């Protein structure tokens, strides 16, 4: 197995390329993970472990889509902790010309964390617009808002009042 200078695997037994579509073999990875003893991690450990990969994947998504979409555009990230493992979190980075409506994403992706970024690839600017946890987690936040970030509480309130159902954003928007 070769490792690149940024620590990423160049060839991986989980990679596939079928009909020009590249991806990962999740079933094999799950089997390999579950075959070994899993150490438990704190949330902070898990976040620290995938932060570099998240930034890399975000940059890769922007680079591969800045010629496909007129600037500014959006990156919608779906994040899900896999139920079959203590320490596996997966992210999907989706470039879009228009933003998704937050309330609709709550219905469509109720078990995912949904994060929306605004990207101006001409100027090299990126802005976090909102991040919403899964549907059940929203209720936990609503029950005890004082335990959570005021920004998170505000985003959830804006989502359920349909104020994040917008057709466009700007860098000047204050959410």
Q: What is the pLDDT of residues 122-156, one digit of tens each?
A: 999 999 999 999 999 999 999 999 999 999 999 99
Neighbours of 87 (CB within 10 A): 15
Q: Is it the case that residue 121 has pLDDT exceeding 70? A: yes
What's the whole-model pTM score?
0.75
Q: What is the mean pLDDT of residues 56-76?
A: 95
For residue 3, tell me if it sits in a domain: no
What is the C-alpha separation between 31 and 88, in angstroms, rounded? 13
For residue 16, tell me if it sits in a domain: no
For residue 66, tell me if it sits in a domain: yes
For residue 167, tell me if it sits in a domain: no
Neighbours of 21 (CB within 10 A): 7
For residue 1, tell me if it sits in a domain: no
Mean pLDDT, rounded, of the chain: 85
Residue 10 binned pLDDT confidence (cut-offs 50, 70, 90): very low
Answer for the pair 30, 85: CB distance below 8 angstroms, yes or no.
yes
Q: What is the pLDDT of residues 69-96, one digit of tens each?
A: 999 999 999 999 876 666 677 899 999 9
Q: Where are the beta strands (DSSP E) in the chain?
A: 15-18, 21-24, 73-81, 89-96, 113-120, 125-132
Please count the structural domains in the chain.
Answer: 1
Domain range spanning residue 59? 41-160
The predicted structure's pLDDT at residue 90: 86
H runs (alpha helix) in the chain: 26-34, 43-65, 102-108, 135-143, 150-160
Please state the length of the chain. Answer: 175
Residue with tokens 């496909």: 68
Q: What is the mean pLDDT of residues 52-72?
A: 94
């Amino acid at each position: 197995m070769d490792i690149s200078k940024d620590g990423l695997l160049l060839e991986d037994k989980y990679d596939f390329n079928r009909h020009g579509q590249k991806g990962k073999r999740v079933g094999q990875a799950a089997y390999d993970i579950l075959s070994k003893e899993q150490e438990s991690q704190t949330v902070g450990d898990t976040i620290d472990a995938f932060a570099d990969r998240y930034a890399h994947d975000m940059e890769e998504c922007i680079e591969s889509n800045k010629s496909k979409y007129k600037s500014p555009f959006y990156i919608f990230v779906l994040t899900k902790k896999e139920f079959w493992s203590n320490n596996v979190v997966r992210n999907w980075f989706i470039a879009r010309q228009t933003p998704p409506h937050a309330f609709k994403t709550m219905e469509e992706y109720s078990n995912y964390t949904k994060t929306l970024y605004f990207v101006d690839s001409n100027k090299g600017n990126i802005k976090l617009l909102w991040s919403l946890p899964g549907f059940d987690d929203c209720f936990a936040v609503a029950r005890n808002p004082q335990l959570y970030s005021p920004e998170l509480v505000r985003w959830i309130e804006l989502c359920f009042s349909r104020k994040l159902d917008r057709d466009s954003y700007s860098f000047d928007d204050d959410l």
